[in-house]
Amino acid sequence: QFATHNAGTIAAIMQMGKRFDAPFELQRLHGMGSGVYRELLSTSPQQTLRVYAPVGSHSDLLAYLVRRLLENGANSSFVHQLADDDVPVETLLASPLYATQARQFPLPQDILAPRQNSAGVDLTVESMRAPLLAALNGVVVSRPADASIDQANAAMQAAYAAFTTWRDVPVRERAAALRRAADALQAQLPRFCALLVKEAFKTWGDAVSEVREAIDFLRYYADEAERVCAPIALPGPTGERNTLYPRGRGVWVCISPWNFPLAIFMGQVAAALVTGNTVVAKPAEQTPVVGLEAIKLLHAAGIPRAALHGITGLGETVGAALVAHPRVAGVVFTGSTQVAKIIQRSLANKDGPIVPLIAETGGINAMLVDSTALPEHVVDAVVQSAFRSAGQRCSALRLLCVHEEIADNIVEMLHGAMKELTVGDTALLSTDVGPLTDDEAFAGIKAHVEQLTARRERTVGAGSPAMKASAERSVVDEANHTIGPHVFEVNSIADVKQEIFGPVLQVVRWSGDPSAVIDQINALGFGLTLGIQTRIDSRAEALAQQSHVGNVYINRNIIGAVVGVQPFGGEGSSGTGPKAGGPFYLPRFI
C-alpha cells in the first residue's frame, strides 16, 4: 500500500510494480490528489485506489487538518513545488535513489558515515525473524560456577603482567581487533539475540537493538581510539620537540549490569582495551553467559587472552575483591547509585595510586508535558519510555509531570494504551513487557506497588497480562516474575523519593511556570534523562538549558540512545560524567 499525492512517486511505483509483477494498492486523502489519480486511472483502470478520510471529533480533526496543511504547504513538498514556475521539471521529478541527484539520501548502513551502521532485523518479515527463532531452539544457558577470591586475584595478576605488552601494540592493531569483533557479532546476531531472550528475558525487539548497540560500540571506539591515542605534537621554542603520548593506565575492572548484559558489557571492555589497558571483566551475576560469550568473541577477533579475563560471581564478594586489588588502575561500573558509592569508598580507602572511577547509575527520570503538547504523541512516548524492557532501563521514565489542563485526557489515553500491552514470555513475538530479572527484583517492585497502593493514591491503571485478564490479581504473577505496567498519581515531585526499577510510573499534575517544575526535578539530585513535550521551541530550549541532566529528549521517548549520536551518561547521583558512546569517554581511560 502506497499513500501519496506525489506524481513522481506514483510514476515510480507504477514502474516498479510492472517490473516485479507485484500487486499493490495506491491511496489518497479524500479531497486531495483527485486530478492526478483521475489521469492515472484513465490509463490504468485496473489499478486499485483507496480513498480515505479521517473520522472523529472536532478537536481531533482540526489538529489533523492543520498538520496536513503544514506538510503540503512546506517549501519542500511536491504539491507546493508543483505550483512554483521557478522549479524545473527535472528538479521536481528528481529521484532520491541515484547518486547523481543532489537530493540523494544515504542508505541505512551509511547514515553514520564514515562509520558503518549496524544492520537491524525487521521482525515483521518472516524470512528475517526465522534465523532468530531457530537460534533460540539451539541456545542452552548453563550458569557457570562463581569464581573464588583466589581466582579473581590471579586474573588481576595475569592482566597486570600482560599490560605493558598490550599497551605497546599500535593503536591501529587494537582498533582492527575491535572492528573484526564487530563484524563477527553482526554475523552472529541471531545467536546473541537468542541468548539475550533466554538469559536476560529480553523481548525480541530489545534483543536486536542491544546486539546492534554492542556492534556500534565496537566500531565507534575503534574509530575514536585512532583519534584519541595518536601522539600530539605540541609547540615549543626552536630546538625543542614536545610530544604528548596518550597511553593506557593499567588493569581496568569492568563491572556491568544485567539489564544490558551485552551492550554495556561490550562497551566498557572495548573502551578499556582499545586505549591500551588490560581488563578483568565481571558480568552481572544474573547474566554471566552473555558476558562470557562476548569475551570468547573478542578473543577470537584477536584480543589476547592475557589481556582480557572474565570473572563471574557476586558483586559483594568477587566484585569487591577485584575493586580492592592493589593492581587495579581504574574501575568502570554501571549499576545502582548505592553500589557506585560503595566502590567509590573502597577505592578511596586503599593505599597506593589514586584510582579513577567511571560510574553510570540510575535516576528518577522525568518528563515534563505542557498544555501545547500533542496527547497522542505524548502517550506513545510515555508508554515506550516507562514500560519497554519492563521499565528495567537506566533511562526509563519514572516521573511524568503533566500540565493540569490536559492531565485528565493524557491519563485516560495512557490507561487505554496500557491495556493493550501484552505481559508474558519474551520468547513470544507478541510480548511487550517481559518478566523482571530475578526473585530480588520481583520482590522489590512488588513491594513498591503494594506500598503505593496502600497509600491510597489514585491508581490510574495497570496493564493486562497476556490473556488480557481483567482480574486485579492477575496483574502481578509471582510464578512467572511478571508485573504489569502500573501508574500512580502522587501529590508532588518531592513525594518521589527513589527510583523504582520496573514498570511503575508516577504522575504529578502541575500548573504555573514550567521552569519551577524543572527546579523541582533538579532538586531530586539525579541527572540522567529528561523528556520535554511542548510545541513551543523557545520553551523547550530554555527548559533543556535549565536542567541538570545528561540527556534531554524533546518531543520523543527518552530511551534508546544511539552510540555516537546520543552519547549517554549522567551527573549528580546519576554518574560521573564522561558519556558512553561519545567523544569524551575514551580520554578517561588514558
Q: How far apart are CA 141 and CA 31, in angstroms?
A: 58
C-alpha to C-alpha distance for 319 and 254, rounded to whole angstroms = 9
CA dist., res. 182 & res. 205, Å (int): 20
Q: Residues 394, 401, 489, 499: which is the catalytic one?
A: 394
Question: Catalytic: which of 360, 401, 489, 499?
Answer: 360
254 as an active site residue: the answer is no
Among 471, 469, 450, which residue's Cα sits nearest to residue 459? 450
- Enumerate residues 6+ apart whose C-beta is below 8 A from 278: 159, 160, 162, 163, 166, 248, 250, 251, 252, 272, 306, 307, 308
Which phi and psi (to 5°) does residue 299 adopt? -60, -45
C-alpha dihedral over 297, 162, 312, 212, to 10 degrees?
-30
List CB contacts of 333: < 8 A, sequence separation 6 or more.
255, 339, 340, 343, 357, 358, 359, 360
- Rounded distance, CA 210 to CA 258, Å? 12
Q: Where are the beta strands (DSSP E) in 345-503?
A: 357-360, 366-369, 399-403, 459-462, 476-477, 482-483, 486-489
Backbone angles phi, psi at 403, to 5 degrees: -65, 140
Nearest of 377, 340, 398, 388 to residue 528 by alpha carbon: 398
Distance between CA atoms of 462 and 569, rounded to whole angstroms? 30
Q: What residues form DSSP beta bridges with 282?
A: 255
- Is-contact 226 176, C-beta < 8 A? no
Strand-pairing partners, residue 25, are 48
Residue 427, φ and ψ in degrees, nearest 5: -70, -20
Instruction: Name the CA dihedral angle for 446, 452, 456, 462, rounded to a multiple of 10 degrees.
Output: -60
Peptide linkage before 131 cis (omega within 30 of 0): no
- The grid cell for 56 is 472523529
Burial, 270: exposed, middle or buried (Cβ in 10 Å; 0-12, 13-18, 19+)? Answer: buried
* Degrees to nearest 5, angle at CA 274 with 273 and 275: 90
Active-site residue list: 360, 394
